[in-house]
Amino acid sequence: MAPALVLNDEGQVRTLPPPSPPPLPAIGFQPGFHQALRWSYSVSSVTTFRMRVPVARTGDRIQVTFRSGDGALTLQRATVARAGADGSLLSTPVPLSFEGKPGFSAGARALVTSDPVAFPMKFRDDLAITFEVRGALAASAINAFPGSFARVGTHSQAMTALGGDTFERSVGVATVDVEGPTGRAFLAMGDSITEGYVDLRNDTRNAWPALVESQLGVPVVNAGVSGQGFYDALMLLDDEVLAVKGITDCLVLLGTNDLGDAGAEEQMETRMLLLVQRLEPFCHVWVSTLLPKEKTNYGAYEYVKSQRLSFNAWLRAGGTGAEVIDLESVMRRTGNVHLYLEGLGVDGIHPSTEGHKVMAAEVVRTLRERGQL
């Protein structure tokens, strides 16, 4: 079981009405892409990465935030361009700068944001971000960015296919902000279900947050982290979520990895309340019921079943005070709520690609019904 967390306000969860997030300017930067990047990946010699990422915001200028891993990072050059097939570019690479310089050096777990650069974007354009680095880069756990590559050497200006090796983990690039008319911008928090894990090779565009995004026409950036529970989500909230500027709404699907220990449901409720409390000054919070779980990662499966039902009942009864999206209701079998509907699960824990479509449809339905979208 994860260690205890110390609550604010002398151990009491706040009962006063939550403060409202600050109003947005008419024109400003908001995120069109985000990844939490919990893990670390190191290269000892200068290596060029070319990440192909979908950016869900329209505007005329962008900023890119890079994140170092568990050690020092030197970025010597970075460019942005429209992404072509197989690591090629559809436009001339535009250099990024950092306080007027072409690169930067940073210590472990640092966030470094580029200067704004003129680069027109349309909603869901694929952006090629190419950068030459040495050292430790923050990285995701799963392969979810097809069309991304890594090659030893300095190749950030290459217009043709980068070559080298496919590298489909999200690496180095934490956030892409786009300047334009401001509006609703969502951030999805969760575990591997939210990050988009289906099998060994995935596509972030098929994960439920991206499907919601494409249907609603507003950014829904993905801060899901495979394997996480409430403890690590709370401990790393500042850098992985609260550092993202311009978010108006947060979608939280978290708790699957907390199930299994005796007494876990009480700890889950306490931590969910604390998470909602910390998010409310930052965004309007929506929480989801937990999906079916057909087996256990650890602990007794009888605990997993009873705790999941208890936690979901508590959420539906308004235990957090936040808006509820009942994803379990559209994913479970009628005769056995612990099983996925046929075709909606892949391994007893994760939803299938079809399952992600069903989840997205329910999120969209709820947000249109109750979220003024």
In the block, tokens 């952006």 appear at 127
pLDDT at residue number 13:
45
In the block, tokens 């709404």 appear at 249
pLDDT exceeds 50 at position 14: no
Residues composing the chain: 373
**pLDDT, tens digit, 9 for 90 and up, residues 93-113:** 999 999 999 999 999 999 999
**pLDDT, tens digit, 9 for 90 and up, residues 250-300:** 999 999 999 998 899 999 999 999 999 999 999 999 999 999 999 998 889
**pLDDT, tens digit, 9 for 90 and up, residues 128-142:** 999 999 999 999 999
Q: Which two tokens stand for residue 112?
A: 């470094």
pLDDT exceeds 90 at position 4: no
The enclosing H or E element of 364 equals helix 353-370
Q: pLDDT tier at 83 (50, 70, 90 boundaries)?
A: very high
pLDDT at residue number 18:
64
Residue 128 CB: number of other CB atoms within 10 A?
24
pLDDT at residue number 369:
97
Among residues 315, 34, 15, which one has the least CA distance to residue 187? 34
Average pLDDT over the chain reads 94
**pLDDT, tens digit, 9 for 90 and up, residues 16-31:** 566 677 788 999 999 9
**What's the rounded Cα separation, in Å, for the pair 31 and 176?**
6
pLDDT at residue number 5:
59
pLDDT exceeds 80 at position 122: yes
